[in-house]
Structure 1
């Protein structure tokens, strides 16, 4: 007589609750991966729409010094002013192609007196010190700059830096440095300078790659994991049923049929392995 009453015990309901919780966690993780995918698609669309657009005046994008909209990321802007080389700083811990280095941030004072921070590019760490071997000077005098906008970075609590360096592009700290208004919503990655510097310039930023990553496949994987939890639960119930009903004639017949099918699937190599194992066991 079939006996499934054990599956309605408190123990198995507990296992079912664990499987449900595991499935819910997998669904949440799947949704998180889908949200990451959507963020990546939005980021890619900003590159497609903005990166190669024609430059516009800075004031046309940032009406106030603290304005910022993420949809303006990578928008090329044009401005004219004079670099404040004495206030130039290095952003430390900025790797590029696996090599450690620094970003060079140089304030640009515009005609109205306001200050816009320009990231002039990347320099590798020097051979003998935790500094670049040399920092190319920006053009002197009036210069017209085209740069692509990026939002400022948050402060990193507990992260310090030596004099002349900063740990993150936290634009608010520049506002404390100058008496003039400072753009604190965004800064710019240098594209071109006119006139060009007399010396070489830091390495320009790479164009962002359009890659959605593996978020979609990870989302499906988490859903599969959630289903596998129920599949494992069903397998465990079936195995316990077989164990508890091993003396039932119908179950004995099914067990014999399963054994016959397993034997039919055995290959010559399986038989040879069994003979070798038996021979080794006899020798011991």
Structure 2
């Protein structure tokens, strides 16, 4: 950019304001974004490995013969156990709004007292909301040990009679005035009780995390290309990397009659 001519009344100074600091900030931001998406991809890869190990552990555990369980020790996760004790049918509760093959109903939860007096909660199966279940329950149930169920809820909803939106050991103890259940299981014994017994394998779905991983790493690659392109643009000629500003200063005028 050419400097304007001097008019004689003042001088013109060209000041170049570098934009390098702004460009460095943008490069740092892009680099941080690339590192973040790489880290998120690694996290999803670790989740996929964990879910696959969990699926393998489930398959190995469910193939083992059932254990006889009488005391309060926690059985291995996913292991089938035969319980010794008796049902507490009066404290049966229902998990409301549970879907089964597109139909909404309830899951029937009945506590079982072990021989040492401790309590476990058993999910006996699903039924339609208005259906009536049979009183037939296996005297010595065979159950599959599960993690406590976790269902999404915006806030804690108090039970309506025997209808619960969600269940935890503490909520059951508060409602039933019984000791807190030690663990949670699902009935696997064949029972003519009018309930649907869901014996399907849990959907661990490690492939879902693989998909998330590829998505994050795809974003990392795109960010890396953008970072390289932007970095090359910073090597353009300085005349393209600066902004010129004009500052005009007025020359001092000598007093009239001064011969100096």
TM-score (norm 2): 0.71
Change (3 A) 1:159 1:29: farther
Mapped pair 1:85 → 2:89: yes
Partner-residue secondary structure (3-state), 2:161: coil
Between Structure 1 and Structure 2, the one with more strand by share is 2
Partner residue of 1:188? Answer: 185
**Aligned counterparts of 2:198 and 2:217: Cα–Cα separation in 1:** 42
Q: Which residue of 2 aligns with 1:11?
A: 22
What RMSD, in angstroms, separates the aligned Cα atoms of the two structures?
A: 3.2
Matched with 2:132 is: 135
Deviation at 1:226, TM superposition (A): 1.8
Larger Rg: 2
1:219 aligns with 2:213: yes
Greater Cα shift, 105-114 or 145-154? 105-114
CA–CA separation in structure 2 for the residues paired with 1:39 and 1:237: 38
Task: Tell me how far 1:154 sits from its aligned partner.
Answer: 6.1
Q: 1:116 to 1:234 in 2, by over 3 A?
A: closer
Structure showing greater relative contact order (alpha-carbon pairs closer than 8 Å, 6 or more residues apart): 2
Query: Closer, same or farther in 2 for the Cα pair 1:57/1:175, shift >3 Å?
Result: farther
Q: State the 1:192 CA deviation.
A: 0.6
Aligned to 1:106: 110
> Residue 74 of structure 1 corresponds to which residue in structure 2?
78
Structure 1 position 237, deviation (Å)? 5.0
TM-superposed CA distance for 1:241, in Å, is 6.6
- Indicate the SS of the match to 1:95: strand
What residue ranges of structure 1 are gaps of 5+ in the alignment?
A: 1-5, 125-131, 247-284
Contact map agreement 2:68 2:84 (CA 8 A) in 1: no
Higher normalized helix content (fraction of residues): 1
Alignment correspondent of 2:147: 151
Q: Please give the secondary structure, in 2, of the residue aligned with 1:207.
A: coil
Following the alignment from structure 2 to structure 1, what is the Cα–Cα distance between the partners of residues 225 and 99? 45
Measured in 1, the distance between the counterparts of 2:18 and 2:222 equals 19
Deviations 1:191-237 (A, max 9, x none): 015xx44x423333422246322322432332232232131233345
Q: CA separation in 1, counterparts of 2:170 and 2:100? A: 25
**Contact (CA 8 Å) 1:93, 1:101: kept in 2 or not?**
yes
Shifted more, 229-238 versus 33-42: the winner is: 229-238
Contact 1:120-1:204 within 8 A present in 2 as well: no
Note the C-alpha offset of 1:117.
Answer: 1.5
8 A contact 2:121–2:185 mirrored in 1: yes
Partners of 2:47 and 2:101 in 1: CA distance: 24
Counterparts of 2:174 and 2:61 in 1: how far apart (Å)?
31
Pair 1:46-2:50 in alignment: no
CA contact (8 A) 2:91 2:176 kept: no
